[in-house]
Amino acid sequence: MGIWRSITILTTLLYATFCANGQMIFKSKSSKQLVEELLPRNSFGITILNTHFQANPNSIASFVSMSDKLPIQSGVIMTTGIVNWVGYPNDSPSSGCGMFTPGDSRLEKIAGATTSDAAILEIEFVANTDEVSFEYFFASEEYPEYVNKGVNDVFAFFIEGPDYDTLYNIAKLPTTGEPISVDHVNAERNSEFYIENKRWRGFSIEDPGSSLASIFQFDGMTTVLEAKAKIRPYATYKLTMAIADVGDNIYDSGVFIKAHSLKSEGKLQPIVPLLKSEIEKRMHLIGANRIRVTGDTVGFDKTVHFDFNSFDILMEDTTSLNAVAELLTVFFDARLVLIGHTDDVGSDEYNMDLSRMRSRSVANYLIMRGIDKSRIATEGHGKRQPLTYGQTDAERRKNRRVEFLIYK
């Protein structure tokens, strides 16, 4: 690195310390924590099943901007470089940091060139309506000098799952359907979606805090855009957010995803037909004996093999109870009533207590498997509702069971 480049970086750091004044705050967090920041507060529209981030850990963080000049004030940032550099004043047309990490072949198909320094966030989710959406903007140091110069930095939001036979990019312009990249959105092309970030001239600006250039390094950015996709309620999908350098890895680009904007606000569908169908597919796996629908509730009996006079969960039932937990994870906004039953040996009062303890044991097991306890209620009916009146041990064993009632 030459001496003048070193001096420039040092000057940038000093300016950032003095003039940015903490106006952009970045925090490193796990991918799960970052994705949770994208969900609306107190929202039951989406549940996250898994997350995974692939890139240098310095390339992703949460951010908060104290300036209302930034298109989005808080959320998650992914860059092809180091996120903290974004918060420096825009005093140079050539800022960036090569991470020397791999590119992404899916992005190369969009950009039509080799990529590098890819940052990739994968989110596996389930939603309860027929649509998922979120808001974002793209920014780059390649603007404006290197438009159409072979460094077409690019990003995409790929969705895959039912009704998407191949990866489908939902990061597109609402007018033309074009992907979002340096060459597709700039001062000359689709300019209505482009914002230039002027150079920062340091102390010559009267109020540097009022200028985006005093706290934001990228030379240009898009307006706030919305990514949206049609989906099937309660089906599992994977959303892949990916960004990469094109041509070289010197000048960085970034995508900013708005906090609390990852939502499902499409058309609601009745849960009963979907739930009944899914239970029928899993009958053998979850050990359900019979399915019945009453109003907005789907119920099934499940034999839980309690030993005589016991409420302990046996190892032989853990596999099927794990499958029930998975079902409740998919139908994440449904509630569950567990009703315990006993055989006919013993007094009414004793069996009522035993049946309650059995339903609580099943509830505790499901809670241990990740189901929120607020979603589960327990009851006990003792020996009052037998499945069989037989007197053999095998027949009595059938009555030592738990009934599952699922509703929304």
- Identify which has the larger pLDDT, 156 or 200: 156
Q: Where are the domains of the chain?
A: 3-258, 271-407
How far apart, in whole angstroms, are the C-alpha atoms of residue 385 and residue 389? 10
Render pLDDT for 115-174 as a digit per residue (tens, 0 to 9). 999 999 999 999 999 999 999 999 999 999 999 999 999 999 999 999 998 899 999 999
Q: What 8-state DSSP symbol labels residue 354?
A: H
Render pLDDT for 207-255 as a digit per residue (tens, 0 to 9). 444 478 888 999 999 999 999 999 999 999 999 999 999 988 889 999 9
> Which residue do the tokens 């950009």 mark?
111
pLDDT reported for residue 11:
37
Taking the alpha carbons of 209, 210, 214, 217 in that order, is the dihedral positive or negative? Answer: positive
How far apart, in whole angstroms, are the C-alpha atoms of residue 20 and residue 292? 63
pLDDT reported for residue 390:
87
Say what the pTM is: 0.85
Question: Which H, E and C letters describe 82-143, residue by residue?
Answer: CHHHHHCCCCCCCCCCCCCCCCCHHHHHHHCCCEEEEEEEEEEEEECECEEEEEEEEEECCC
Closest CA to 279 of 269, 289, 270: 289
Render pLDDT for 27-71 as a digit per residue (tens, 0 to 9). 999 999 999 999 998 777 999 999 999 999 999 999 999 888 899
271-407: which CATH topology?
Answer: 60s Ribosomal Protein L30; Chain: A; (3.30.1330)
Taking the alpha carbons of 266, 271, 275, 277 in that order, is the dihedral positive or negative? Answer: negative
